[in-house]
Amino acid sequence: MKGKDLINIGIFSAIYFVIVFVVAMLGFVPILLPMLAVLVPIIGGIPFELFLTRTKKFGMIWIMSVIMGLLMLLTGMSWPPLAVSAVTGLLAELVFKAGKYRSAAMAVLTNAVFSLWVAANYLPLFFAAEKYWESRKDYGQDYIDKVNKLMPTWMCPVMFASAFVCGIIGGLLGRKLLKKHFEKAGIA
Amino acid sequence: MKGMFSTDIENRGLVLDPRTKLTVVIALVVFSLGGAGSGFYCVRAAVIALCLLPIVLLFTARRYKKALLLAALFVLVKSAEIWLVPQFTGAALSISSIVCMFIVRLMPSLVMGSYMLSTTTVSEFTAAMQRMHIPQNITIPLSVMFRFFPTVTEEFSSINAAMKMRDIRIGGKGAGKLIEYRLVPLMVCSVNIGSELSAAALTRGLGTKTKRTNICKIGFRLQDLTVLLLVLSVFVLWVLGMAGVIK
């Protein structure tokens, strides 16, 4: 990897994180909390597919994934997202590598695998719920009840599945926009 | 215009080590945003002091107006949360507690984040990361990212204004194109800015195999020690609370 590749990672991480941040703000309305696993993979797919056209060397996707995990740590989501993103990032990297860093179908699948880290944000909700809410009492009992009702334990695999499926949708959308706009502009 | 996240180095008052700022950010995330140890009375009291720290730091960075405004807001909302909110019932209770929580929890970390970004130069950041032995593969993307946030937000607000003029907004005529017409121009200009940035960075020797030197003088001074002691005391209180020594 050269300096140019690392700079590209930084730029696309910034765009991706702005999207994550905007969507995460919606989570303060209880009903929209699960939407994070729907909206981030779809909207994030657009910059991510463009990022993949610049990915030619091993490690770029992995680093971006780890950076996302680090940022989650810095924005108060604790360590599970980082632990998951370190693994799914490597998997996404291997998927795209299997497509020789240029296969369009593999690029769509890569976005799906990459997006799995988003679902990891919910892990404390399912497996350490009591501890999670104890430190968040000031959200109000009303909010806590609503979220608990919305998120029974069986929702956990659903969240990961939703991130994966929406990742595919986002990947397809990204590819479509790539063809429609960026190839014409000569930057894809 | 100076954005929320852009650096203004000529007029920044008291200088803290980047690592000190990072420690404060992490402490705020753990205690204010994450709400760790909020079961203990002592920790809760100490966290209020910790939350006021970024505002004090803004003062030392000579942002008097902003600091005063934020201090007033924080004190007002925090006291409302403690004394006024418990007296509400029903919908008023849940709405007011969400609003208070949003401000009290989020604001300190946001203020600290913007303070950190607006008082740290990229060189200082890289120097600090180098001292912490973090590999270049992580530090280069991170430093590009932090410098890129102001650009992204600035470009985005301009694009937003242009799209509003064309009635492509929530509830407008072109609502279906809401996302596409905002993200695509944003990405095109980001990519262009990015290639300029790479060219500039490469001429400065970024990405060469040799070890880079740095003329920035960073290090822990008296002010760093004071801040770190405050942060440490909150952690100590938390541990004492968990050990059952204090309530």
Please indicate if any CB of chain A lies within 8 Å of the CB of B144. yes
Q: Which residues in chain A are contacts of B47 at CB distance < 8 A? A: none
Please indicate if any CB of chain A lies within 8 Å of the CB of B200. no
| Closest CA of chain A from B156, distance in Å | 10
| Assembly ipTM | 0.78
At A25 the pLDDT is: 76
Please indicate if any CB of chain A lies within 8 Å of the CB of B98. yes
With CB atoms and an 8 Å threshold, state whether B136 touches A14.
no
State the count of interchain CB pairs (< 8 A) between A and B: 144
With CB atoms and an 8 Å threshold, state whether B152 touches A7.
no
With CB atoms and an 8 Å threshold, state whether B97 touches A138.
yes
pLDDT tens-place string over residues B182-224: 888 888 888 888 888 888 888 877 767 777 777 877 888 888 9
At B30 the pLDDT is: 85
Tell which of B5, B148, B149, B197 to mutate to test the A interface (max A CBs under 10 Å).
B148
At A109 the pLDDT is: 94
Tell which of B187, B193, B208 to mutate to test the A interface (max A CBs under 10 Å).
B187
With CB atoms and an 8 Å threshold, state whether A182 touches B35.
no
At B2 the pLDDT is: 45
Q: Which residues in chain A are contacts of B138 at CB distance < 8 A? A: 63, 66-67, 70
pLDDT tens-place string over residues A20-63: 888 877 766 667 777 888 888 998 999 999 999 988 889 899 99
HEC-encoded secondary structure of chain B:
CCCCCCCCCCCCCCCCCHHHHHHHHHHHHHHHHCCCCCCCHHHHHHHHHHHHHHHHHHHHCCCHHHHHHHHHHHHHHHHHHHHHHHHCCHHHHHHHHHHHHHHHHHHHHHHHHHHHHHHCCHHHHHHHHHHCCCCHHHHHHHHHHHHHHHHHHHHHHHHHHHHHHCCCCCCCCCHHHCCHHHHHHHHHHHHHHHHHHHHHHHHCCCCCCCCCCCCCCCCCCHHHHHHHHHHHHHHHHHHHHHHCCCC
| Closest CA of chain B from A157, distance in Å | 25
Q: What percent of chain A has pLDDT over 90?
A: 35
Q: Which residues in chain B are contacts of A2 at CB distance < 8 A? A: 207
Find, in chain A, the residue whose alpha carbon is nearest to that of B153: A18
Tell which of A1, A13, A15 to mutate to test the B interface (max B CBs under 10 Å).
A15
Residues of chain A with pLDDT under 70: 27-30, 135, 137-140, 188
| Closest CA of chain B from A22, distance in Å | 12
Residues of chain B with pLDDT under 70: 1-12, 171-176, 207, 247
With CB atoms and an 8 Å threshold, state whether B145 touches A75.
no
HSE of B85 in the Cβ direction (CA atoms, 13 Å)? Answer: 20
Predicted model pTM: 0.82
Residue indicated by tokens 């930084």: A10
